């Protein structure tokens, strides 16, 4: 799920990976909990773009402008990164399974930094790929931090200095230094949080106001909250 706050509204977005009559969709709810939009073809997984279809859409990220980034492919037919406008028009797409640049194997999480770069947790390929948010051009990839296991979730700290990465089966959170504008460079781990065995952090999010980290743990079946230490 993703809590979005744009100039016009506040909303909650949910990816539905179920196999029922409403599955394989992305749903938008108002701040009051009313269903206001459904993306995808309810109950039908697929690869189509018109009409748009998903298969196990993993996550999405909504910018302040209302633009939407979707990673579609938590083990399903698709391995895609899609950017939609706030009016749900397709702006660009990377959508092929593989190991080369701009190809994916279970793209599981997506986030955007303040410098206009899109960061994708390419879990099956054990790397993070980076794209220009306006053009979709591939900017580079990090894989040196993920030799043991690929990333499951990616989010930036509010100051943009660090990328927080969840590793599912290692039950670990990494804090990685964000690269300067104009360079992707190499992944550099600054610190980490080792969780208990079999906690299995699946996805995480960070409060833009407080910096608190919320971790959804599918092994422990709980959500844990971590707050920054005050120096």
199: left (phi over 0), alpha (psi -120 to 50) or beta: alpha
Would you place residue 73 in the very low, low, confident or very high pLDDT band (cuts 50, 70, 90)?
confident
How many CA atoms does the CB half-sphere of 158 hold within 13 Å? 10
Q: Is the pLDDT of residue 230 over 80?
A: no
76-96 pLDDT, tens digit per residue, is 899 999 999 999 999 999 989
Would you place residue 231 in the very low, low, confident or very high pLDDT band (cuts 50, 70, 90)?
low
**Structure tokens that stand for 21 in this block:** 């009559």
CATH code that applies to domain 2-226: 2.120.10.30
5-56 pLDDT, tens digit per residue, is 888 899 999 999 988 899 999 999 999 999 999 999 999 999 999 999 999 9
3-state secondary structure of 10: strand
Angle in degrees, CA 56, 158, 137, rounded to 5: 55
Average pLDDT (167-171) is: 98
Quick check: bond before 95 cis, omega within 30?
A: no
Provide the residue ranges of all domains of the chain, joining segments of one domain with +: 2-226
Would you state the pLDDT for residue 175? 97
Average pLDDT (177-206) is: 95
Average pLDDT (62-74) is: 94
108-142 pLDDT, tens digit per residue, is 999 999 999 999 999 999 999 999 999 999 999 99
Q: Residue 85 in contact with residue 91, Cβ under 8 Å?
A: yes
Q: Is the pLDDT of residue 200 over 80?
A: yes
Share of the chain above pLDDT 90, in %: 90
143-163 pLDDT, tens digit per residue, is 999 999 999 999 999 999 999
* pTM listed for this prediction: 0.96
Would you state the pLDDT for residue 123? 97
Identify the DSSP state of 5: E
Report CA 142 to chain centroid distance, whole Å.
Answer: 16
**Structure tokens that stand for 50 in this block:** 């018109």
Report the alpha-carbon distance of residue 120 to residue 33 in Å, rounded. 28
Tell me the Cα Rg of the chain.
17
């Amino acid at each position: 799920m993703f809590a979005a706050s744009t100039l016009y509204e506040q909303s909650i977005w949910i990816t539905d990976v179920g196999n029922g009559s409403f599955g394989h969709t992305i749903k938008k709810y108002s701040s009051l909990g009313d269903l206001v939009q459904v993306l995808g073809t309810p109950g039908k997984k697929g690869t189509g773009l018109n009409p748009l279809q998903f298969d196990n859409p993993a996550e999405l990220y909504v910018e302040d402008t209302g633009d939407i980034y979707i990673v579609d492919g938590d083990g399903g037919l698709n391995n895609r990164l899609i950017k939609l406008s706030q009016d749900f028009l397709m702006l660009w797409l990377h959508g092929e399974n593989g190991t080369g640049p701009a190809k994916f194997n279970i793209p599981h999480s997506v986030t955007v930094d303040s410098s206009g770069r899109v960061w994708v947790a390419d879990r099956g390929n054990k790397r993070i790929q980076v794209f220009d948010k306006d053009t979709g051009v591939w900017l580079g990839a990090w894989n040196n931090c993920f030799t043991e296991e690929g990333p499951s979730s990616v989010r930036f700290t509010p100051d943009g200095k660090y990328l927080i990465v969840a590793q599912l089966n290692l039950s670990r959170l990494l804090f990685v230094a964000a690269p300067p504008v104009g360079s992707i460079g190499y992944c550099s781990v600054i610190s980490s949080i080792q969780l208990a065995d079999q906690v299995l952090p699946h996805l995480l999010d960070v409060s833009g106001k407080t910096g608190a980290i919320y971790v959804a743990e599918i092994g422990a079946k709980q959500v844990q909250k971590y707050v920054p230490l005050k120096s």
